[in-house]
Amino acid sequence: MAAAFARREYDFLNELGLQPHNLGCNGNGVWKGNGNTVTSVNPANNQPIATVVEASIEDYEDSIKACGEASKMWMQTPAPKRGEIVRQIGEALRSKLELLGRLVSLEMGKILPEGIGEVQEIIDMCDYAVGLSRQLNGSIIPSERPNHMMMEVWNPLGIVGVITAFNFPAAVLGWNACIALVCGNCVVWKGAPTTPLISVATTKLIAEVFERNGFPSAIFTCICGGAEIGQAIAEDTRIPLVSFTGSTKVGQIVQRTVHARFGKCLLELSGNNAIIVMDDADLALAVSSVLFAAVGTAGQRCTTCRRLLLHEKIHQQVIERLVDAYKQVKIGDPLNKDTLLGPLHTKTSKTNFEKGIQMIKSQGGHILTGGSVIEHEGNFVQPTIVEISGDAPIVKEELFAPVLYVLKFQTLEDAIELNNSVSQGLSSSIFTRSPEAIFKWIGPCGSDCGIVNVNIPTNGAEIGGAFGGEKATGGGREAGSDSWKQYMRRATCTINYGRELPLAQGINFGFQSN
């Protein structure tokens, strides 16, 4: 019989293979956990949902060994066959879409449509990766030497380590794992320590697919844990590529560690994203977009709009419309149908919001709406708009909460300069009807971000494009386009099918063996 959770409303977790107490490491196809016990809490009321025993360093070691063994088999499996397994993973997730989406919403705190959207994103990535499994094409390059052929061959790396952040506890795994798997790599995944139930439930579904097909489930290994396990992954020479998603501060530590051992790093770090609204913009479109970009996911997306740059001619008008829209935002339990703004993820996030508001005030910021925490057992705060100088130090930082800074500009050039004036370079957007402004914006003297949008919000990217940002956002690219190349080893291969040894650049070495 399924074990009973403290609250009846959590019973759906049984259908995802979860229990009130869970083990968090699936090394060797067996669930185990000899590390710390962590309690997963509901951000809407700070009540416990279930506990997970994290992996110890010994568990980690066992799991990586099993994963390394499985890797030999997986990398020799034909890519389209690997694609077929990923297709089945997509099907398994599809069958639990609502349940898993509900778990994302319950444990992370984002509203239900966004929770379901995250799982849908992994499914979309599975579909994409299935097609890709038949297109991991190399190329043939004309050789300058007679009777020679030169080509590029793409081979798997081996094991890909994936470390993810709390705010996208499912989708970011999908961006990495679906591509890594079809490319012939095993995956070792460490999710955030505050979202272990999502890690365990997702891995159980994936493990079942591998086992059903006669493959070791160690091909996809989940290791629940905190910084210690993350650090072990970064240091591990058996893991040639570490894909890290999280803060710039931790990403920098991970990058140094991985590079010190000549590993490869794929970094998806903090953002500080701006929306520019020109005086010719469709203001209704702009206001709806800013609302979604700044308030969605309670301001806890890497792509959340944090800076709103308004042309002086429409400045006041947009502020009035936006303040009005903010006042209509329904705040509450993320699982309720009408809720638009759920809680922040942890009590610490709520405290950081309060500290941020104090700093904003001390740096001359003027609160136009919001600015307070909500007295409640959950981590709720008011969506906030602040008028502030672009030079205030806090504007240059990523405050991970629904706080929007409004700045005024006069010309497109000024707006682009403001957009580019922060250390982060993830996402950016302009609202305008002018082709001239659009092409300047996306051109060499335009936005310096990895994502450069026009008349859409900064967030809500599609999986078909390469996702990622420049500067302190880390430079990584994940999901679509040619991101797959980062998960493979490129071999430049030259074959001499003649009996002479002509050398490149016409070099004559002056020696002929008989």
Residues 183-212 contacting ligand NAD, CB under 6 A: 190, 192-193
- Min. distance of Cβ 59 from ligand NAD in angstroms? 16
Q: Which of 268, 318, 416, 437 binds ligand NAD (CB under 6 A)?
A: 268
Q: If binding is defined by CB under 6 A, does position 55 make contact with ligand NAD?
A: no
Choose between 231 and 420: whose C-beta lies nearer to ligand NAD.
231
Q: What does the alpha-carbon distance between residue 111 and residue 105 come to, in Å, rounded to a whole number?
A: 6
CA 158 to chain centre: 22
Q: What angle do CA 246, 250, 255 make, to 5 degrees?
A: 100
Catalytic pick from 224, 302, 305, 449? 302
Choose between 239 and 302: whose C-beta lies nearer to ligand NAD.
302
- Min. distance of Cβ 284 from ligand NAD in angstroms? 29
Binding residues with ligand NAD: total (CB under 6 A): 31
Q: What does the alpha-carbon distance between residue 481 and residue 99 come to, in Å, rounded to a whole number?
A: 30
Choose between 332 and 425: whose C-beta lies nearer to ligand NAD.
425
Known catalytic residue at 268: yes
Burial of 167 (0-12, 13-18, 19+ CB in 10 A): buried
User: SS3 letters for 396-457?
Assistant: HCCCCCCEEEEEEECCHHHHHHHHCCCCEECEEEEECCCHHHHHHHHCCCCCCCCEEEECCC
Q: Which of 409, 423, 431, 413 is nearest to 474 (CA)?
A: 423
Q: Which of 161, 169, 174, 271 binds ligand NAD (CB under 6 A)?
A: 271
In the DSSP assignment, the letter for residue 373 is: B
Which range of residues in 85-93, 97-105, 239-247, 376-384 is near ligand NAD by CB under 6 A? 239-247
Q: If binding is defined by CB under 6 A, does position 245 make contact with ligand NAD?
A: yes
Q: If binding is defined by CB under 6 A, does position 398 make contact with ligand NAD?
A: yes
Q: If binding is defined by CB under 6 A, does position 230 make contact with ligand NAD?
A: yes
Please name the amino acid found at residue 282: D
Residues 93-132 contacting ligand NAD, CB under 6 A: none
Please name the amino acid found at residue 11: D
Known catalytic residue at 445: no
Q: If binding is defined by CB under 6 A, does position 221 make contact with ligand NAD?
A: no
Q: If binding is defined by CB under 6 A, does position 25 make contact with ligand NAD?
A: no
Q: If binding is defined by CB under 6 A, does position 24 make contact with ligand NAD?
A: no
Q: Which of 42, 56, 120, 167 binds ligand NAD (CB under 6 A)?
A: 167
341 contacts: CB under 8 Å, gap ≥ 6: 111, 295, 298, 329, 330, 331, 332, 380, 383, 402
- Min. distance of Cβ 129 from ligand NAD in angstroms? 18
Q: What does the alpha-carbon distance between residue 428 and residue 419 come to, in Å, rounded to a whole number?
A: 8
Sign (positive or negative) of CA dihedral 153, 158, 163, 168: positive
Which range of residues in 179-187, 209-217, 246-254, 407-415 is near ligand NAD by CB under 6 A? 246-254
Q: If binding is defined by CB under 6 A, does position 246 make contact with ligand NAD?
A: yes
- Min. distance of Cβ 404 from ligand NAD in angstroms? 16
| Crossing angle (nearest 10°) for helices 171-182 and 79-95 | 150
Q: Which of 130, 183, 223, 302 binds ligand NAD (CB under 6 A)?
A: 302
Distances (CA, A) of 377 to 44, 310, 343, 374: 7, 36, 10, 9
| Crossing angle (nearest 10°) for helices 97-108 and 196-212 | 150
Q: If binding is defined by CB under 6 A, does position 426 make contact with ligand NAD?
A: yes
Catalytic (active-site) positions: 268, 302
Residues forming the site for ligand NAD (CB under 6 A): 163-168, 172, 190, 192-193, 226-227, 230-231, 234, 245-247, 250, 253-254, 268-271, 302, 398, 400, 426, 469, 473
